[in-house]
Each structure stands twice: as structure tokens, then as C-alpha cells.
Chains A and B, each alone.
Chain A
């Protein structure tokens, strides 16, 4: 069958999956006084539509920052404004200042879900389709299979269409950036990534690989001639994009500072809500929160993040190929929790990688349970697992050689951890996930350890992150494959 028809059927299936999940509950449904992320987005529409720009990020009588104050960069605010404009034409009650707090109705839910779907259709899905068709290797059927698995990734679907967020927009922009870099259009790529940064500040985690890759490329082409010209062009593009997005706030320095203060709330602690990262897991062994003060926690986390990311970024600086760039992106993600979705597609070629990605989804299970999304979680995870296994070819294609596990295994043998066969690892991981999911959903934890299951889930997920992080770093430092994957770079 022709590729276009296969692609359109896969995209339509992805839309069905998304809309199906949309019909379930959202975060904070029916839970006054604060509700959840859904109410936060609705509130932002209310604030951006009714108040002048200067008041959006400030605490005024009309804008109570304690009730879901704006804490994303300006592009999110503009997006909310557009949605509010449409909402006003359909039903003004949805965005009426003050009076619409906690507004919940079936029509409003449909409208909000529609905004997420439209944003995805315009930004995220085309990026995925183009990326998979142009920047992955293999036959066209393999490309479509990768695209399908990419689109079906449960994490993004459940968070965006269940819990309610707009991660598709920022991830989509970032993906456009990666796509452009892969095709050699560096200036456009940097513009796209700047847009992503201006939508959600969490993309900063991916900024370092982008920066190192582009810098490395400029150095390689020669800092005196074309390289400098490229550097200047990229620099100007980035600055111009930022200026354009921040234009209304550049009139007064206090405006810009307030926005920055809202975006980076350093007053919050190292971790919230038992997330699957280093600090949470470490906390079980050493009670970090009680040992260190707030500021020290912050500096510690910053230092550790930079240290962890440094090796892959230095490697990228010295060898700025697209392949290394992709690997660096994947290595960076192990540190935080939300922006874990991106690497899925980048490395969806091999079935074994599907496993850690599913683990990440499992790590968010406590959140889904709180939102009443257990059934969609089960269904989408099973669907993703099923399709990865059948479409991305059987496990026996994951030869040791292909994954370059040689060095990886050697490392672990040194540490006296018997790793064994990596198929076994895959099955053990899946079994652990299933077991933890069932336990979290069904069993009641003992009273003296009320958070037993969320912490267990976080720790398991963290161990997987660590393993994947080390693996990708090892791969990055070993020789790149001699086959065609180099052809797309530079």
C-alpha cells in the first residue's frame, strides 16, 4: 500500500487514541477549592483575556498569583489568550473574570480537549511524521512503524489528554528544531528551539545539547570564516526570537525580572510529589531535605545536573554529528521528570528501548490514579507494548553488537552486578512494572509506610533511568556505526 495511505491511517489511529483518552477525567475534576492543572489552564485563559499584559505576571487585586499564577514563559500566555478569544465567542461564562473560577461543564471540557488536539495536529504530529519519514533509516514500512509507535507513546497521551497539559506544543517545536538540524538548516532549527524554550522553560534541559552541537559545528567549520558567520546568524536568530516573544515585557526591566521570577521559582524544594529522579530516591537513604538548607539543595542539584550532562556535551562539542546530538539529548533526560517523552521517538528503532520508556509511564502511575485515569493507563500502555513488540520486529534483532552493549556489560561486570542476558532484563522490567502497577492500584500500603508504593515505583524508574543514562553515555563515547546514519549530518 502506498505510504501516504499508511501514514494517514496511523495518524488517524493516533487521533482516535488521543480523543478516546480525552473522554476520561482530568486532573482536579470536581475537587474544589484548587482543582488541578485543567483549572490552571482555564484560569490562565481568564487572566490573559481580561487583564492587560503588564498585569499578567504580577500579583494584583485582579490577579491572585497564589491561585494558579502564570509560571510559564510568554508563549504559553499568548496561546492561552488565543484559546480565551475562541472561548469567549462560544460561551463568555468560561472566561469571566473571577466568576468563572472552578467552572466545569461537559461542553467546556470538550472545548478544552479540542484545544489540545488542535495544537497537537498543528505542531506536534506533523513534526513526528516528517521526522520519521525523513530522518530515520529503513524501509518505508519500518519508518511508518516507528512513527506509529512514536505517536502512540502513552506518556504524552496520558499527560496531555488525560491530566491536561500542552506538552505537545513545546515538544513539537523542539522536534521541529531537531528536524531542521538533521536536515542541515541550523538557523531555522535554532529558531524553532527558541520557540520551544519560550513555551516551556523545561526545554532548558535540552538546550545544552543544542548549544554544544551548534557551537561544535561552528568550530568545526572554522571559527574564522564560515563558522563565525554561522555562529553570528544563529546568535542573531535566537536573540531575535526571544526579543519577539518577550517584546511586551521589555519596556521595563522590572517586568522582565518578574516574569523570570515566576518562571524559575527557586523557593520550591528539590522535589515535589515523589518524582522519579535522583533526589527522591536518594532521600529514602539519606534524608536530604532535612540535612541541607533550601539554597544548598538548589546549588547541589544544579551542580549535579551539570556534572552529569557534561561528558556527553563535551563529546558533542568535539564531534558535532547529528548522531551524537541525538544521543546527547537522550542522555540529558534522566535528570528530571516531565520532559521524558522526547527521546522515545529518537531511539524507537529498537524494541529494547521501548522498555525504559514504558517504565517512565509506570512511574507516573500514582499521578494517574489520583486523576482517575487507571483504565486509559492500562489500555494505552498495553497497546504501546503490543505494537512495539509486533511492529518493531522481534527481540532477536536486538543483537548485542547493534546495541554496543559490549562496553556496557563490561562496566557492570566490573561492578559485580550480574546483568545477564538483556532479553531477560526486558522481561524482568516488564514484570516489575506490571507488579508495581497492580500493587499501586489495588493494594493498601501498611500504615507506617503510607507512600510505600509511589516511592518503590520512583526508585525502580530511577534505576532504569540510571541504566539508560549510563548506556547512552557509553554508546556516545564508543565508535559510531559505520553505516548510513552519518549521512544525514552536516
Chain B
């Protein structure tokens, strides 16, 4: 904790302080989204929250987040009451901007606390080392200065720090064997942002298997007789009470179907305007190339193809021309199939909290790879917990470097104005230099972290970056194919993410043969 004390004191104020400097930067649509939600929760009665649609940015997070916005709006009133008028679309006075940015910085306190708890769970090797080489310090920096979080939260604007704080805190509690607290925190998290449903299977199966069944047989399999109904009841009570707190008023008013329809808008397309680097990006590209090839080789008639696929760029409703179209049901099945081995593994051969963490990562990545309308920001759900594993094991550090560098680079298109170019490049360089050198020093005794081919792939990212940011805007293709850099970024990163996914799976399944590592 002393290490963390020093590192928190050194790092986070700089972090927040730097973000204050960026108060005048370009704001994204998410800024207006949250301002709108502040207005809705403040000015309208509860019964209208999920029906209100004056603005296109309707409330699509679970009710607990709405209560949170209501709380924030009480403070917002002191800064600038005009932002709380629902009709003031795109209202962005300096006081509004200051308030919103400050709210992110203040709620980040949850994340800082969570990072501290995670650092306490990390094993410290014996022997005195200087502060910079201790695993807990490296983890603190990797979490607090995570490029993705900085970019998405403080520049792009969201409350992910706050939410990830809950996730990491819940993981830390499980690592410290305080399962009820972990479950409570996760229940809160689910009711704040339902994207964390991605990792709910890991929680469900782990808690059922390792908490409700109090003991295992000698060979690690389930001992059915040790089932404890009391524990199951406790878990159930926690989950239902949190859900009641959040959804209660809406169920009482009979608005549940409306709320659910807002939370899960399946009318949006398979990919959103910028393809997240997952399987479907590769699928789309394959489809497009086959279509183009087919037309060139006269196997297909251009007139038969859906119009968007040939001329348009990246559209929301994507109809595949050559390969079969993908429906939400298909993605659900694929996702479930992809996480099944991981979930089964922690049921059959649990490895304690570390195994749970690995399963959580695989669930997050699996849903990212195969999910419907995935945002590229969701990669952070996998990157942040992986940091904990990376400071402890060499193999995980290698996977972490690939996933993080690729995942963070895939966030580049989020900041597209020239003013933000130096910021994103410099921040990315800083984080990459630190993660590579610090992790290499931590695991230096066990050989190199990355295979040469992996290094070549990562260096290729630099080439892609230069091509997309510098060469492309100055080339003649800028007019005809404006979506080309986005496509190249998606596809290149998708390959890296898939590779990391497979390697993580390998590390989980192959561990079954060894003795389970100690916690």
C-alpha cells in the first residue's frame, strides 16, 4: 500500500490535472448525450424518462444510471441551470463543459480506489526493488494511465472510469475472497450499464460453482453434497434487491417493456458506422471482396447486389451480398458457443479466483468478437482486467501487449480532428513505451515477451497509422473512398484481437493439465 500511496499521489493528480487543460477541446456527441440525460432526469417526472424523445439521444442505460444522472443534476444546477432544459439541444456553455469534465474527474475517485484494491491483490516478489519495478506500481500505472480510458473518458467523454471502478473493485473483492461484496458491486454495475452483461455468465457460473458449493472433491470436481442454500439465498437477495432499487419504480408503473426496448435496440445494424475490430468486420470485408471479385469475374451481376454494398461506405444496416446475412439470433448463438468452453472450464475444473478472472476476460472478448452492434470501446472491458494478469505472468504479459496495443490503436478513429492528433499520438506512445519497458523489466528473467512475428505485426500498426493519418488525407483517394482508413484500421486490428482471443483460450484450456496456480 505504501507503493500505491506514492504512485497514486504521483500519478492521478497529474492525470486529472492534465485533463483540466483539455477542457476546451472538441467535444463529442456523447457530451450532448449526457447533457440531455441530465436535463431529462432533472426536469421531467420519472414516468416520462424512458418515453422522452425530443432529442435523438434517448435514455438507453438502465435506471440506476438515470438515478445517478439525477444526483449529478442537483450539482449541475449550481453551475448553469440552462443545461437542464430539455429543449436546449447542443447547449454547451463554458460552465456546462467545466461541470461535465469535473464530474468525470470526480467520479474517477471510484476507479482510483478500485485500482488500489487491485494492486493490493498482486503478489510482491521478495527482495527490495526500486519503486518503478514493483508489480503493483506497474499495475497502478497501467490502470490509471490506460490510454483507452483517458481517450474515451476525458477527451471523448463518458463515465467509464466510474463504471470500470465498479468492475475492477468487484474483481478485487473476489480475488480477496469476499464474494458477497463482489456480487453486490457487480449487481450495481449491471444496473448502471447493461453492456456488462457480456461478463455476467462468468460471474454466474463462478459464484454458483465456487461459492454455493462450499467444498470440492479431491480431484477438483463438484461435490454436490456441499451445496449451501443459504449462500444461494444471500446471492439472490443481493441481486434482486439491487434490481428492485433500480427497476422498481418502472415495474410498478408497468413500463418494463418500454425500458427494455430502449436498453436493447436491436433495430441498429450488425456493425455501427465504424466497424469494431471483431469477427464481423472480417466477415464484412470478405463479403465485400467476394462481391467485387464476383463482378470482375462475371460470376455475379452488379444489378443483383444490394446497392449499398458496392457504392456506399460503411452503413448501419448491412446486407451481405455474397455470404449469408447475419441476424441478431445468429450473433447470440455464436457468442454463446464462443464462451461455452471457458464457462464449462470453470465449472468442471475451477482454478479459484484467477480462473474466474480468465473466464471473465474470455467472456468479454467472446462477446466483443461475435456480438451484435459492438462498439470498439468495449475492448476496454477486456484490456483493463487483463492488466492484473499481465503483471504476474509472462505469457499473459505477451498477450496483454498485443491486445492492448491493437485495441488502443483501434480507438484512434474516435478522435479525428487535427487538434487531437498530437494528443492521441503522444499519449499512445507514452503508454506503449511504458507498458513494453515495464513489463519487459518485470519478466526479464524468463525470456522475451513477444515472438518476432508478433513484433512485426505490431510494427505494422505504425505503418497503418502513418498511412491512415498522414498519407491518406493527402492522397487522391480521399474523395472517392473516404471510409478506407476506417476499414483498414478495423481489419488490421481485428486480426490482432482474434489472435489474442485464441491465445487466451489456449492459456485457459491448457492449464487444466497443470496443477492449478496458487491465488
Contacts and interface: CB of A to CB of B under 8 A. Distances in A.
A24 B17 contact: no
A13 interface: yes
Residues of B contacting A: mostly? helix
A13 B433 CA distance: 12
A257 interface: no
B519 interface: no
A9 B427 CA distance: 9
Interface in A367-381: 375-376, 378-380
A436 B427 CA distance: 34
Nearest to A20: B21
B132 interface: yes
B70 to A, nearest CB: 28
Contact of A19 (B17, B423, B434): B423
A86 interface: no
Contact of A1 (B25, B133, B426, B430): B133
B132 A1 contact: yes
A382 B16 CA distance: 11
A117 B422 contact: yes
A383 interface: yes
A6 B10 CA distance: 15
B327 to A, nearest CB: 44
B17 A382 contact: yes
Contacts of B21: 17, 20-21, 23-24, 375-376, 379-380
B437 A16 contact: no
B430 A13 contact: yes
Interface string A6-26: 101100110111011101100
B429 interface: yes
A293 interface: no
Given A20-B423, A21-B21, A9 B433 contact: yes
Interface in B416-446: 418-419, 422-423, 426-427, 429-430, 433-434, 437-438, 441
A482 interface: no
Interface residues of A, number: 32
Residues of A contacting B: mostly? helix
B426 A110 contact: no
A421 to B, nearest CB: 25
A419 interface: no
Contacts, number: 75
Nearest to A13: B430
A385 to B, nearest CB: 11
B20 interface: yes
A15 B25 contact: no
B54 interface: no
A33 B438 CA distance: 54
A61 interface: no
B507 interface: no
Interface in B244-277: none
- Interface size band for B: 20 to 34
A5 B434 contact: yes
B124 to A, nearest CB: 17
Nearest to A2: B437
Nearest to A5: B437
A387 B18 CA distance: 13
Contacts of A117: 422
Contact of B422 (A15, A21, A380): A15
Interface string A116-128: 0100000000000
A390 interface: yes
Contact of A17 (B10, B18, B441): B18
Nearest to B26: A23
A478 interface: no
B419 A110 contact: yes
A18 to B, nearest CB: 9
Nearest to B138: A1
A80 B71 CA distance: 53
A55 B104 CA distance: 54
Given A12-B430, A110-B419, A390-B9, A20 B14 contact: no
A106 interface: yes
Contacts of B13: 382-383, 386
Interface in B122-158: 130, 132-133
A483 to B, nearest CB: 24
Given A12-B426, A15-B422, A117-B422, A1 B23 contact: no
Contacts of A383: 13-14, 17-18
Interface in A1-55: 1-2, 5-6, 8-9, 12-13, 15-17, 19-21, 23-24
Interface in A88-111: 106-107, 110
Contact of A23 (B9, B25, B433): B25
A379 B20 contact: yes
A1 B441 contact: yes
B24 interface: yes
B22 interface: yes
A379 B419 contact: no
A110 B14 CA distance: 25
Contacts of B10: 390-391
A391 B7 CA distance: 12
Interface in B148-200: none
Contacts of B17: 379, 382-383, 386
Contacts of B429: 8, 12
Given A375-B21, A375-B23, A386-B14, A8 B433 contact: yes
A16 B9 contact: no
Interface string A49-91: 0000000000000000000000000000000000000000000
Contacts of B132: 1, 6
Given A1-B437, A19-B426, A24 B24 contact: yes
Interface string A421-460: 0000000000000000000000000000000000000000
12 contacts: A5-B433, A6-B132, A9-B430, A9-B434, A16-B423, A20-B22, A20-B423, A110-B419, A141-B130, A376-B21, A379-B18, A386-B14
Given A9-B430, A20-B21, 18 more contacts: A8-B433, A12-B430, A12-B433, A16-B18, A16-B426, A17-B18, A17-B21, A19-B426, A23-B21, A110-B419, A117-B422, A375-B20, A382-B13, A382-B17, A383-B17, A383-B18, A390-B9, A390-B10
